[in-house]
Structure 1
Amino acid sequence: MRIHQLRALVAIADAGSVRGAARLLNSSPAAITQSLQQLEGDLDLQLVARTPSGVTLTQSGQTLLEHARLIVSQIARAEQALDAMRGETRRRLSIAVSAWVAMTFLPEAVVRFRQRMPDVQLEFFEGLLAIANPRLRDGRLDMYIGRKTPGGTSSEFTYRPLFSTTCAVVARRNHPRAESRTLEALLDLDWLVALDPETEGSAPYKMFAQHNLPVPRSIHFLHSLSVAVALLQRTDMVSIFPWPLIELCASRDALCAIPVREQLDDSMIDIITRTGQPSDATSRCFIDCLVESIRDEAWTSTPDIRRVMHSVELLI
């Protein structure tokens, strides 16, 4: 296996076609096809199935893709590290950020980072487990500022704690159950929760089990805060938000916390990186800017930030 062959496989998977892969790699469709055929010939395996609508990866192709992404990513990091030794700045930093951190500390951190590394292109993703973990695992993401898998002890990731906070049940203002005092009173409602593929979506079910309650009749999964807010505003659905997010969304989006007496699990926000991933100056600079923003008492005295800080425990 050669690196150009693995790059071709990754590009085909991302683009969904040979032509699209050629555009991604600034190459020709003939060169991409040749690289793929050589790779399949060397392995004596079919990696790609051609269809009228494009191409799809076979099971063998999917298995190799996981490793190919990591190898391609590591080669890119090695090239960037050598570029840095020559005084050349790394070109892109990819980060997933939890929603409430993005709405508070991220802008100030970005301003500081841009002043120090103006030539670096930033790429941001919504900080949900289903989005962040796969990208962090295969090297497409440099860091994840968010919560780790509930109950997860995986050694593949390294965690640097930032905040600890509690969570609450959230609904639209004037919801008919807005004054409920127990989870039991909410069991017949539609629940919106973030899907965690690492636990196969079992986290919300465990929450009710630990309070000796049956599972709600209807649980729906989501991968977007904007979708969650839109549904909560216009339906009788309920969800679970960390308190900082409630502080930010309550007045702006007409949401409220339902005062159930059950204690919900705490939410930890960490800076998460892949274990064994060599540190680089660009990532270190961004982390420094974020930590400085969090610790800057002059900047965090603004009303929104002050409200958020009252709902978290600072761990740095």
Structure 2
Amino acid sequence: MKFHQFRALVAMADTGSIRAAARALGISPAAATKAVRELEAEQQIALVTRNANGIAFTEAGQALLVHARLVVHQMSRAQDELDARRGRGVGKLAIGVTPWLALSFLPDAVILFRERMPGMQLEFYEGLLNIVMPRLRDGSLDFSLGKPGPASLHAEFTQTPIFATESAVVVRKDHPLSHAQSLKELQDCEWLLNWDPASKEMVADDVFLRHGLPMPKSMHLAHSFVVAMGLIMNTDMVSIFPWPLVETRFARDNLRALALQEEVDRTVVSVVARRGVPLSAAAECFLECLKEAIHAGEASPNPERRRLFHSLELLI
């Protein structure tokens, strides 16, 4: 198996056709076809078939594609690493980010990073587990910043805690229970969580069962932060937000954090990456910028920004 064959295979998967893959690679359609056909002949198994919509991958092709993406991505990262050490600092850094980070202090980290590595292209994905895990597996994502995954993923990924924060129960400002003082008063409400299905059990343990309360009868999941905000602002649904998000101007203008007698939840944000694959120089630089942004925010003369950053506990 050769690298140019893997590149052709990945390009076909990304573009959906041989012609588009050839354009992306800067080669002729005949050369792209030849690369894959040679790979099929060497392995004596069909990988790609043509159909009315372009191309389709066989079961064997889908299996090989996972490994091909890893190889192509690692070669690209190796080139980026050498370019960075030569002072060129070009390439791409792909990061999964939990939504509330993007609305709180991610911009400060990005500004610092762009000053230090202006030639690097940044690519962000919403950091829910069901979105980032497949991309971490196939190498198209360098790392993710978010809640640690379940224990079943620990053999496959490293999960390094970087900071922790408390959470709050939030409702719209004119919610009929906006002055509730205990979780028990909210038992009959409809709850909306902006987390993955796998996190539902963790919330049950950390928020309700810990205080001797049963799970609410109605609990919904939103896989988009925009959807979650729209519903919480315009319905009587109840949710749980990390404090840095509660402290953003947008949340303070539209939501109310309830002063409950119970501690709600402690959120730990970790760097999640494929086990056995070291972070690139660009990834290390970005994490250093994130840490510096948090320290700068804690010392900000602006009291609004200090409130946001003082809700964090750095773990690195």
Deviation at 1:247, TM superposition (A): 1.9
Cα distance 1:51–1:171, how it changes in 2: closer, same or farther (>3 A)? Answer: farther
**1:300 is the counterpart of 2:263:** no
SS of the residue corresponding to residue 46 of structure 2 reads: coil
Q: Which residue of 1 aligns with 2:12?
A: 12
Q: Which residue of 2 aligns with 1:121?
A: 121
Instruction: For 1:28 and 1:202, locate their aligned partners in 2 and report how far apart those are by CA, in whole Å.
Output: 51
SS of the residue corresponding to residue 168 of structure 1 reads: strand
Instruction: For 1:191 and 1:21, locate their aligned partners in 2 and report how far apart those are by CA, in whole Å.
Output: 45
**Which range moves more in the overlay, 7-16 or 51-60?**
51-60
Deviation at 1:214, TM superposition (A): 4.9
SS of the residue corresponding to residue 247 of structure 2 reads: helix
Q: Which residue of 1 aligns with 2:231?
A: 231
Deviation at 1:42, TM superposition (A): 3.1
Amino acid at match of 1:250: A
Q: Which residue of 1 aligns with 2:257?
A: 257
Cα distance 1:48–1:192, how it changes in 2: closer, same or farther (>3 A)? Answer: farther
SS of the residue corresponding to residue 296 of structure 1 reads: helix
Instruction: For 1:41 and 1:84, locate their aligned partners in 2 and report how far apart those are by CA, in whole Å.
Output: 38
Instruction: For 1:50 and 1:216, locate their aligned partners in 2 and report how far apart those are by CA, in whole Å.
Output: 50
1:52-201 mapped onto 2 (5 Å cutoff) = 52-150=52-150, 154-196=154-196, 199=198
| CA contact 1:294–1:300 (8 Å) conserved in 2 | no
Instruction: For 1:200 and 1:166, locate their aligned partners in 2 and report how far apart those are by CA, in whole Å.
Output: 16
Deviation at 1:187, TM superposition (A): 4.5
- Per-residue CA deviation, residues 54-109 of structure 1 (Å, 9 max, x unaligned), is 44434333322222221111111222233344443232222222333333332222
SS of the residue corresponding to residue 20 of structure 2 reads: helix
Q: Which residue of 2 aligns with 1:38?
A: 38
Instruction: For 1:138 and 1:285, locate their aligned partners in 2 and report how far apart those are by CA, in whole Å.
Output: 23
Cα distance 1:104–1:212, how it changes in 2: closer, same or farther (>3 A)? Answer: closer
| CA contact 1:144–1:273 (8 Å) conserved in 2 | yes
Query: Identity of aligned pairs, percent?
Result: 47
Q: Which residue of 1 aligns with 2:311?
A: 311
Instruction: For 2:62 and 2:200, locate their aligned partners in 1 and report how far apart those are by CA, in whole Å.
Output: 23
SS of the residue corresponding to residue 30 of structure 1 reads: helix
Deviation at 1:173, TM superposition (A): 1.5
| CA contact 1:180–1:258 (8 Å) conserved in 2 | yes
Instruction: For 1:212 and 1:61, locate their aligned partners in 2 and report how far apart those are by CA, in whole Å.
Output: 51
How does the TM-score come out when normalised to structure 2?
0.84
Cα distance 1:285–1:184, how it changes in 2: closer, same or farther (>3 A)? Answer: same
Deviation at 1:163, TM superposition (A): 1.7
Deviation at 1:209, TM superposition (A): 5.2
Amino acid at match of 1:221: L
Instruction: For 2:291 and 2:192, locate their aligned partners in 1 and report how far apart those are by CA, in whole Å.
Output: 32
Q: Which residue of 2 aligns with 1:268?
A: 268
Instruction: For 1:214 and 1:20, locate their aligned partners in 2 and report how far apart those are by CA, in whole Å.
Output: 54
Deviation at 1:154, TM superposition (A): 0.6
Amino acid at match of 1:142: D
Cα distance 1:200–1:280, how it changes in 2: closer, same or farther (>3 A)? Answer: closer
| CA contact 1:130–1:195 (8 Å) conserved in 2 | no
| CA contact 1:168–1:240 (8 Å) conserved in 2 | yes
Deviation at 1:31, TM superposition (A): 2.8
Amino acid at match of 1:266: R
Q: Which residue of 2 aligns with 1:3?
A: 3
Deviation at 1:205, TM superposition (A): 5.2
Instruction: For 1:224 and 1:300, locate their aligned partners in 2 and report how far apart those are by CA, in whole Å.
Output: 31
- Per-residue CA deviation, residues 217-259 of structure 1 (Å, 9 max, x unaligned), is 443332221221112112222222212112224323x112344
| CA contact 2:300–2:306 (8 Å) conserved in 1 | yes
Instruction: For 1:309 and 1:28, locate their aligned partners in 2 and report how far apart those are by CA, in whole Å.
Output: 53
Matched pairs, number? 314
- Per-residue CA deviation, residues 246-304 of structure 1 (Å, 9 max, x unaligned), is 2224323x112344544433211223333322343322222222222222267634233
Structure 1 residues not aligned, in runs of 5+:
none
Instruction: For 1:250 and 1:176, locate their aligned partners in 2 and report how far apart those are by CA, in whole Å.
Output: 18
Amino acid at match of 1:300: S
**1:242 is the counterpart of 2:242:** yes
| CA contact 1:196–1:203 (8 Å) conserved in 2 | no
Superposed CA RMSD: 3.0
